[in-house]
Structure 1
Amino acid sequence: MTAADSMPAKRLHAVQARIADAAAAAGRDAATVHLLAVSKTFDAAAVRAMAACGQREFGENYLQEALEKQAALRDLPLIWHFIGPIQSNKTRAITERFSWVHGIDRLKIAERLSAQRPAALPPLQVCIEVNVSGEASKGGVAPAGLPALADAVSNLPGLRLRGLMAIPAPASDVGAQRAAFRQVREALDALIARGHALDTLSMGMSADLEAAIEEGATIVRIGTALFGERVIKHA
């Protein structure tokens, strides 16, 4: 069986087809939507298999797990995105080993990432996470606090603010999905009107990528549809 016939290839092509169909329905070029493969809890072999099919960008939530995979896959030209909550004691490793961070929600973390970004590397590409659903269990800055945080983050020399990330509350109704994603897009538009040069909306996952693309997503973060159901690992 060739790589093109493998299960990872079939899953990747199926997701790519969903992205293309959603983009066409929205009157968009599919090339404006980037696929981020969320490989958290899956091992280095699974990432290598997906990379063999042409996927280059991978998202990780757990730092130690990610560092182990990066070490095992150092021979591959991969781009790593950190998409999980960030603790202060993890910022140095994140800023040294990742190209993107999707979950900035407070200035303290942004300042640490900026200060610790190695001078030999380009600025760390970052998105601010906004909590449009108001869920206490999720991270993200409240919409009211977004303008001030964006102003502050954009002035940090080690970072380049690219846009917004969001994980709205799950909804089975497409209309509700789109309404939540629309709030994120409108928040981005408001920041652009404020003078920020932004180009990224990181939103949409396996269950709602179509609604996210309809509302302007430029990065969709896909795990289950690419790798299968996750097995919860207990300590």
Structure 2
Amino acid sequence: MSEKELTNTIAERLGTAHEKISSAVQQANRPTDSVKLMAVSKTKPVEYIVAAYQQGQRIFGENYAQELAEKAESLNEYSDIEWHFIGPIQSNKTAIIAKAADWVDSVDREKIAKRLQNHALELNKTLNILLQVNISNSSAKSGVLLQDVDALAKQVDSYSQLNLRGLMAIPDQYDDNKQLIEEFEQMQACFLRLQQQYSSVDTLSLGMSGDMQPAIQAGSTMVRLGTAIFGQR
């Protein structure tokens, strides 16, 4: 599609996304601006990101370390883009992630936290950290188990270059919303407990296209949308 068509399409999709978020926020009786939108731009060319940026989008999520690094480098003139790394973290990719990302949303073990701390020290930067929780106890998913969150949070908070901001989770898909809602409520309870312990904690990243409404009902402060904004991969 042409540049104009791309701009118009993404503008329309972002508008629809914000309308849906606003509606869910109203239904949950929450403050108007209490939920941020992350545009998940993995596998999409930089032109798509620029088109979204021109419509006011600033938060972008990437799943692959090298792709994040290349996009962050090619778009470094857009200094107010907030880059989130949201994929599983391999130890040998932590240096790339630490350099390119502003936020690392998928920290799930102390080894990774320590490596990010060391890289951030070398870079003289601070990384915002979300702990990814395997709330569904799924063998197919990354994440720290709920009962181990406190220990990992304490470790991350002890590092000078890591700023503990909260939690992220991607629950399993269920035919019945009951289990999903239970898991979202467990995440909310854990998040509220962390907030009481750490003044820096302010972000609960839950919800994608299919489960955005119950996520916002459960207190999500950031939802992640990819296909809904950029189209099918």
In the superposition, the TM-score normalised over structure 1's length comes to 0.91
Q: Which of 55, 74, 94 is residue 76 of structure 2 equivalent to?
A: 74
Contact 2:99 2:123 in 1 (8 A): no
Name stretches of at least 5 consecutive residues in structure 2 with no aligned partner.
none
Contact 2:68 2:100 in 1 (8 A): no
CA deviations on 1:199-225 (whole Å, 9 max, x unpaired) are 110111111111111100011111111
CA deviations on 1:130-173 (whole Å, 9 max, x unpaired) are 11101001000111111111111110111000111000011354
Is 1:7 equivalent to 2:9 in the alignment? yes
Root-mean-square deviation (Å): 1.9
The one-letter amino acid of 2:74's match is A
Contact 2:86 2:104 in 1 (8 A): yes
Q: Which of 151, 160, 173 is residue 154 of structure 2 equivalent to?
A: 151
**Which secondary structure state, in structure 2, belongs to the residue aligned with residue 102 of structure 1?**
strand
Q: Give distance in 2, aligned partners of 1:3 and 1:162.
A: 37
Q: Give distance in 2, aligned partners of 1:67 and 1:122.
A: 16
Contact 2:17 2:228 in 1 (8 A): yes
**Which secondary structure state, in structure 1, belongs to the residue aligned with residue 182 of structure 2?**
helix
CA deviations on 1:101-149 (whole Å, 9 max, x unpaired) are 0000000100110111156654210010111101001000111111111
In structure 2, the CA distance between the partners of 1:206 and 1:5, relative to structure 1 (3 Å rule), is: same
In structure 2, the CA distance between the partners of 1:5 and 1:89, relative to structure 1 (3 Å rule), is: closer
Name stretches of at least 5 consecutive residues in structure 1 with no aligned partner.
231-235
Q: Which of 89, 108, 118 is residue 92 of structure 2 equivalent to?
A: 89
Contact 2:6 2:51 in 1 (8 A): no
Q: Which of 117, 120, 140 is residue 120 of structure 2 equivalent to?
A: 117
For these two proteins, the number of residue pairs brought into alignment is 229
Structure with more of its chain in helix, by fraction? 2
Q: 1:1-235 residue pairs with structure 2 within 5 A?
A: 6-77=8-79, 78-118=81-121, 121-193=124-196, 195-197=197-199, 198-230=201-233
